């Protein structure tokens, strides 16, 4: 039975994410058509075009309860702007660079032009594609720990409850929990999740490693799960996409929604990912300690290794926030240790001036220098060397050889950072991401993920955000600010003018 409401809402339904199609861009939305091709969200009606959505059971306004007791058509005004329209759009690009020489400019030619890319806005829809009492939801956390996992789990569970869902399961220890029969599910109720956000880690447990998509979907079918929430990184999102596609192939009505989890903040298109802020905050403890150790020793050198296999965001932000770091080494920027522009020379200059020196190094920095140092594993694949310990060993050797006394103090706070509960800022980010993941699933979207873009919460097709890792741009203002703050030179070979 089709719902009957006033025009504005009705048109919303007819033009849900899947159907959104203008022949040409509206005058105030240049680039919309191209955006709709690139950022179009898969929707459950792609597979089941005949599903008739229902009024949402979600409401934030007690005086506007439309749960059951709606007598006649409500006008938009009465609904108190409670819902997000499927056609609401958020701009992806917001800077117009005047010239390719502008800091951070991503222009293809000198005469930069501005591209309009429109993303779908996240949030509760007025109409939903799942009957809450029929929802069988599962949540899984994958990969390494990250502050805020429990906040996301909690909000997904609580928001599902708000919609009226009663069957919410946590899959233990990542995708493995779908396959391994010894691993039992965890019941998630408003009571059981009430205070889990006060603790770090994941109450579901987490694990790395992949499982066969087909086996996971077999299990999903067997359980009757029809909403799956995957909290994980690039790899786990790829897994979620594969699950979504396998479900479509098997004609299963399953909404698969991701919540990007990467403490390294290396997901494309998003302002920041949850846990990052807390990581930068918590890294301050290690940096402060290293500073104190360095400053209290004769020619003391503090070295702090921070997370970031491919991206130096944590190292860069933590150095900036600290204001006490003299040298920040990240994967995106090449450096040489020796030579007049090398790291050692800078360290000596700093020690001679201040008496001590503080180095922050991202775990993925200088991998060209340690290539082969980590040895190979059983399969002959190279193991990444621990750049922090390697750097300290090399530097000690160098300083000894050149007769420059120096005392090294090395801190690796990785696990202490990862296991921290989310700070307030991340707590809010996690909560809203978790809520929006549920809104997306009820809104019928699948194969999508949620993220903060230009301060607004958006839904994105998974493939767009996992194309590659997001990196620090060495030409960005933020990296330049880091250079200004540390006072470090660019360790790359000196610039040769081409004139």
Minimum gap (Å) between residue 177 Cβ and a copy of itself: 9
Which CB, 212 or 353, lies closer to a copy of itself? 353
Minimum gap (Å) between residue 229 Cβ and a copy of itself: 17
Residue whose C-alpha is closest to residue 241's, from 434, 233, 6: 233
Q: Residue 27: which residues within 8 A CB-CB, separation 6 or more?
A: none
Which CB, 236 or 246, lies closer to a copy of itself? 236
Residue whose C-alpha is closest to residue 261's, from 229, 233, 230: 233
Minimum gap (Å) between residue 249 Cβ and a copy of itself: 30
The β-bridge relationship of strands 456-461 and 118-121 is: antiparallel
Minimum gap (Å) between residue 88 Cβ and a copy of itself: 5
Which CB, 49 or 104, lies closer to a copy of itself? 104
Residue 264's alpha-carbon distances to 175, 237, 337, 417, 429, in angstroms, are 21, 15, 25, 12, 16
Which CB, 248 or 457, lies closer to a copy of itself? 457
Residue 34 to residue 32: CA distance in whole angstroms: 5
Which CB, 248 or 265, lies closer to a copy of itself? 265
Which CB, 92 or 252, lies closer to a copy of itself? 92
Evaluate whether 178 touches 256 at the Cβ level (below 8 Å).
no
Give, as one character, the DSSP assignment of residue 269.
Answer: T
Residue whose C-alpha is closest to residue 452's, from 190, 317, 277, 194: 277
Evaluate whether 142 touches 208 at the Cβ level (below 8 Å).
yes
Minimum gap (Å) between residue 2 Cβ and a copy of itself: 20
How many other C-beta atoms can be found within 10 angstroms of the C-beta atom of residue 249?
11
Evaluate whether 17 touches 86 at the Cβ level (below 8 Å).
yes
Which CB, 47 or 297, lies closer to a copy of itself? 297
Catalytic residue, chosen from 151, 167, 264, 426, is: 264
Residue numbers in the known binding site for substrate are 262-264, 307-309, 363, 415-418
Which CB, 254 or 441, lies closer to a copy of itself? 441
Type and span of the H or E element at 359: strand 357-362
Evaluate whether 107 touches 484 at the Cβ level (below 8 Å).
no
Q: Is 21 exposed, middle or buried (0-12, 13-18, 19+ CB in 10 A)?
A: exposed
Residue numbers in the known binding site for ATP are 144, 208-209, 233-236
């992806």: which residue's tokens? Answer: 92
* Catalytic status, residue 264: yes
Which CB, 98 or 402, lies closer to a copy of itself? 98
Residue numbers in the known binding site are 144, 208-209, 233-236, 262-264, 307-309, 363, 415-418
Residue whose C-alpha is closest to residue 127's, from 66, 55, 45: 55
Residue 171 to residue 184: CA distance in whole angstroms: 8
Residue 210 to residue 365: CA distance in whole angstroms: 26
Residue 38 to residue 353: CA distance in whole angstroms: 53
Residue numbers in the known binding site for Mg(2+) are 234
Task: Tell me the DSSP string of 187-241.
Answer: E--HHHHTTGGGSSS-TT----S---HHHHHHHHHHHT--EEEEEE-HHHHHHHH
Q: List strand residue ranges (DSSP E) for 370-463, in order.
A: 407-411, 448-453, 456-461
Minimum gap (Å) between residue 13 Cβ and a copy of itself: 12
Minimum gap (Å) between residue 132 Cβ and a copy of itself: 15
Residue 406 to residue 162: CA distance in whole angstroms: 60
Residue 383 to residue 133: CA distance in whole angstroms: 49
Q: What are the structure tokens assigned to 174, written together?
A: 């990542």
Dihedral (CA of 230, 235, 239, 245) sign: positive
Minimum gap (Å) between residue 141 Cβ and a copy of itself: 8
**Catalytic residue ranges:** 264
């Amino acid at each position: 039975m089709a719902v009957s409401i006033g025009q504005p809402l009705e048109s919303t339904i007819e033009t849900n994410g899947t159907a959104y199609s203008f022949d040409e861009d509206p005058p105030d939305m240049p680039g919309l058509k191209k955006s709709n091709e690139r950022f179009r969200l898969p929707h459950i009606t792609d597979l089941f075009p005949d599903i008739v959505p229902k009024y949402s059971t979600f409401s934030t306004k007690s005086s506007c309860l439309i749960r059951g007791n709606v007598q006649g058509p409500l006008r938009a005004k009465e609904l108190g702007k409670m819902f997000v329209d499927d056609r609401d759009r958020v701009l992806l690009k917001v800077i117009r660079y005047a010239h390719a020489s502008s800091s951070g400019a991503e222009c293809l030619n000198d005469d930069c032009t501005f591209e309009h890319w429109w993303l779908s806005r996240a949030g509760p829809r007025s109409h939903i594609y799942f009957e809450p009492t029929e929802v069988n939801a599962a949540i899984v956390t994958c990969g390494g720990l990250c502050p805020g996992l429990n906040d996301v789990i909690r909000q997904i569970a609580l928001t599902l409850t708000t919609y009226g869902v009663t069957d919410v399961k946590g899959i233990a220890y990542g995708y493995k929990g779908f396959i391994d029969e010894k691993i039992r599910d965890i019941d998630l109720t408003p009571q059981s999740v009430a205070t889990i956000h006060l603790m770090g880690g994941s109450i579901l447990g987490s694990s790395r490693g992949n499982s066969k998509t087909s086996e996971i979907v077999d299990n999903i079918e067997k359980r009757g799960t029809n909403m799956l929430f995957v909290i994980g990184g690039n790899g786990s999102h790829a897994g979620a996409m594969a699950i979504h596609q396998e479900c479509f192939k098997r004609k299963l009505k399953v909404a698969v929604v991701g919540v990007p989890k990467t403490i390294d903040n290396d997901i494309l298109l998003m302002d920041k990912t949850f846990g990052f802020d807390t990581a930068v905050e918590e890294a301050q403890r290690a940096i402060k300690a290293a500073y104190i150790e360095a400053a209290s020793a004769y020619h003391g050198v503090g070295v702090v290794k921070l997370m970031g296999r491919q991206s130096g965001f944590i190292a860069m932000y933590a150095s900036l926030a600290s204001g006490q770091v003299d040298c920040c080494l990240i994967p995106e920027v090449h450096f040489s240790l020796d030579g007049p522009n090398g790291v050692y020379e800078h360290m000596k200059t700093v020690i001679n001036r201040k008496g001590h020196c503080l180095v922050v190094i991202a775990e993925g920095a200088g991998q060209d220098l340690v290539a082969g140092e980590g040895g190979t594993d059983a399969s002959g694949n190279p193991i990444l060397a621990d750049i922090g310990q390697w750097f300290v060993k090399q530097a000690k050797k160098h300083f000894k050889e050149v007769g420059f006394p120096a005392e090294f103090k090395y801190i690796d706070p990785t696990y202490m950072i990862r296991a921290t509960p989310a700070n307030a800022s991340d707590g809010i980010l996690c909560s809203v991401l978790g809520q929006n993941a549920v809104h997306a699933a009820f809104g019928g979207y699948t194969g999508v993920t949620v993220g903060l873009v230009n301060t607004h919460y958006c839904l994105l097709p998974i493939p767009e955000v996992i194309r590659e890792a997001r990196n620090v741009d060495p030409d960005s203002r933020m990296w330049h600010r880091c250079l200004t703050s540390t006072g470090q030179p660019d360790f790359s070979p000196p610039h040769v003018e081409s004139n």
